[in-house]
């Protein structure tokens, strides 16, 4: 019977679970969809029981796999900034406030007044501000993050979080504690869970839960992480200088570093993962910017016609609409896609080069701000499949593009569970 770790990824509209072997091989995977969050008056809420039902469905579907493999540990990643109010036993006291829920101004004001500039707790969707609102309106005993609450259903512990999920609620990952300034916002500190390092064992599985899913009664519950951190872990990134670019609707970068970076003007903060740091940034360029000028049909038609090794000389900065946040912080920045050559092939290649140029500038900016310089690159998202674009990016970034081990965040959560057992499958 082979050993395995269980990783669970909970997203906005779905849940996925993966069994990962000691060598990093996926032994089994199941997933299910969930109803989307409720939207009312600009607010975004979700019933936590929706998550629990999805998790139950997926784990029941994996029962035969649990019988075939020796599961040693499990870890869960959740959406960063989603919080749920509970009573002392972990029963939800109200609806969960989603990661992109916008706090009411009267609760955001005290946070913005006292929170340091470098904290991730600032901003309209601040979980800390939304926690203040829960304190005033729901009066819970504790406020947990999404991954905390789901982990608690396995362990019975509804008093513990990890350093990654706690970051946007105001946790200080450098001092490794809840900072004193949180009291000045008016939030009662006893509402917040204690925080441990991601990947730290916190408990054993409850016997009744183990029996329901045919899991061993000694499965270790390991502190989880956010979905973004789990995605990086899934990619195979391990060393300072390992970067992961997501080429989706927008251009998102994550870079492992040996030191943290906090640059609020660019929306950059750093997660602690073991003895390393994960710094990240997001540009408004990407797939949406490309599609603003070239149709999907034309992308397929023109890609084989470009010459990735012969630069066009065009200096483009494609944006889908005015405004940029990183690597240039300018809310009024206009898209730059001129001059436009008559040759549509050159124009298309110029757009690809422009987005790749933004990516290269972004990694340089992270290094300028103090992060470890880029040494290796992995790419996920729809743009990763475009070979011509990959060659352009390799030329402009000066590093080779490596194939990610996996794009499933659940694999990253499982890798973290293995780390909790003193082993890294990668």
Assign residue 137 the CATH number of its domain: 3.30.420.40
Give the per-residue pLDDT at 14: 94
Give the per-residue pLDDT at 42: 79
Q: 288 and 219, same structural domain? A: no
- Average pLDDT, whole number, for the chain? 96
Residue 223 domain-assigned (yes or no)? yes
N-terminal to C-terminal alpha carbon distance within the chain: 21
User: How, if at all, do strands 220-222 and 70-78 pair?
Assistant: parallel
Quickly state the pLDDT bin for 36 (edges 50, 70, 90).
Answer: confident
What are the pLDDT digits (tens) for 38-79? 887 778 999 999 999 999 999 999 999 999 999 999 999 999
Residue 167 domain-assigned (yes or no)? yes
- The sheet carrying 142-145 orders its strands as 38-40, 43-46, 96-97, 83-86, 142-145
Q: For residue 350, is pLDDT > 90?
A: yes
Give the per-residue pLDDT at 267: 87
Q: 170 and 280, same structural domain? A: no
Give the per-residue pLDDT at 1: 81
Q: Closest Cα partner for 167 from 155, 158, 176?
A: 176
Q: 275 and 215, same structural domain? A: no
Q: 120 and 15, same structural domain? A: yes
Q: 179 and 195, same structural domain? A: yes
Count structural domains, the chain.
2
Residue with tokens 């003895």: 275
257 three-class SS: strand
Give the per-residue pLDDT at 40: 79
Residue 76 domain-assigned (yes or no)? yes
Model's pTM, two decimal places? 0.93
Residue 426 domain-assigned (yes or no)? no
Q: 398 and 359, same structural domain? A: yes
Residue 56 domain-assigned (yes or no)? yes
110 is in which domain, residue-wise?
3-229+409-420
Quickly state the pLDDT bin for 12 (edges 50, 70, 90).
Answer: confident
Q: 385 and 274, same structural domain? A: yes
What are the pLDDT digits (tens) for 157-211? 999 999 999 999 999 999 999 999 999 999 999 999 999 999 999 999 999 999 9
> How far apart (Å, rounded) are the C-alpha atoms in residues 408 and 7?
10
Q: 138 and 27, same structural domain? A: yes
Quickly state the pLDDT bin for 329 (edges 50, 70, 90).
Answer: very high
Residue 89 domain-assigned (yes or no)? yes
Q: 267 and 150, same structural domain? A: no
Q: 250 and 214, same structural domain? A: no
Q: 275 and 204, same structural domain? A: no
String of DSSP letters for 103-124 = PPHHHHHHHHHHS-TT-TT-ST
Q: 380 and 277, same structural domain? A: yes
User: How, if at all, do strands 70-78 and 225-226 pair?
Assistant: parallel
What are the pLDDT digits (tens) for 203-257? 999 999 999 999 999 999 999 999 999 999 999 999 999 999 999 999 999 999 9
The answer to whether 74 and 62 have CB atoms below 8 angstroms apart is no
Give the per-residue pLDDT at 38: 86
Give the per-residue pLDDT at 87: 97
Residue 425 domain-assigned (yes or no)? no
What are the pLDDT digits (tens) for 92-143? 999 999 999 999 999 999 999 999 999 999 999 999 999 999 999 999 999 9
Counting every residue, how long is the chain? 426
The answer to whether 409 and 80 have CB atoms below 8 angstroms apart is no
């Amino acid at each position: 019977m082979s050993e395995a770790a269980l990783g669970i990824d909970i997203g906005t509209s779905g849940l996925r679970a993966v069994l990962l072997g000691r060598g990093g091989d996926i032994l089994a995977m199941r997933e299910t969809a969930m109803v989307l969050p409720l939207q009312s008056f600009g607010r975004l809420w979700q019933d936590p029981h929706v998550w629990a039902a999805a998790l139950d469905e997926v784990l029941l579907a994996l029962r035969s796999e649990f019988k075939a493999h020796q599961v040693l540990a499990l870890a869960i990643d959740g959406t960063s900034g989603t919080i749920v109010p509970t009573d002392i036993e972990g029963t939800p006291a109200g609806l969960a406030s989603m990661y992109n829920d916008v706090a009411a101004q009267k609760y955001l004001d005290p946070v913005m007044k006292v929170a340091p500039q470098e904290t991730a707790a600032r901003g309209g969707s601040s979980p800390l501000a939304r926690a203040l609102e829960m304190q005033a309106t729901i009066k819970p005993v504790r406020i947990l993050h999404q991954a905390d609450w789901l982990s608690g259903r396995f362990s019975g512990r509804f008093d513990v979080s990890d350093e990654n999920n706690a970051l946007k609620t105001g946790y200080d990952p450098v001092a490794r504690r809840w900072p004193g300034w949180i009291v000045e916002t008016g939030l009662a500190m006893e509402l917040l869970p204690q925080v441990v390092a991601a990947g730290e064992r916190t408990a054993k599985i409850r016997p009744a839960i183990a029996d329901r899913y045919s899991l061993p009664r000694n499965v270790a519950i390991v502190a989880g992480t956010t979905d973004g951190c789990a995605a990086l872990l899934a990619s195979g990134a391990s060393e300072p200088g390992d970067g992961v670019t997501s080429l989706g609707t927008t251009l998102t970068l994550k870079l492992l570093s040996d030191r943290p970076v906090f640059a609020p003007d660019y929306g950059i903060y750093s997660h602690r993962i073991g003895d390393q740091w994960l710094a990240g940034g997001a540009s408004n360029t990407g797939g949406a910017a490309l599609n603003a000028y070239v149709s999907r049909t034309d992308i397929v038609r023109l890609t084989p016609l470009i010459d990735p090794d012969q630069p066009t000389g065009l200096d483009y900065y494609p944006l889908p609409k005015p405004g940029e946040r990183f690597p240039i912080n300018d809310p009024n920045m206009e898209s730059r896609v001129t001059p436009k050559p008559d040759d549509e092939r050159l124009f298309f290649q110029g757009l690809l080069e422009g987005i790749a140029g933004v990516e290269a500038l972004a990694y340089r900016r992270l290094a300028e701000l103090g992060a470890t310089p880029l040494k290796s690159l992995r790419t996920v998202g729809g743009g990763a499949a475009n070979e011509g674009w990959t060659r352009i990016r390799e030329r402009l970034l000066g590093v080779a593009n490596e194939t990610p081990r996996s794009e499933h965040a659940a694999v990253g959560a499982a890798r973290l569970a293995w780390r909790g057992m003193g082993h890294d499958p990668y």
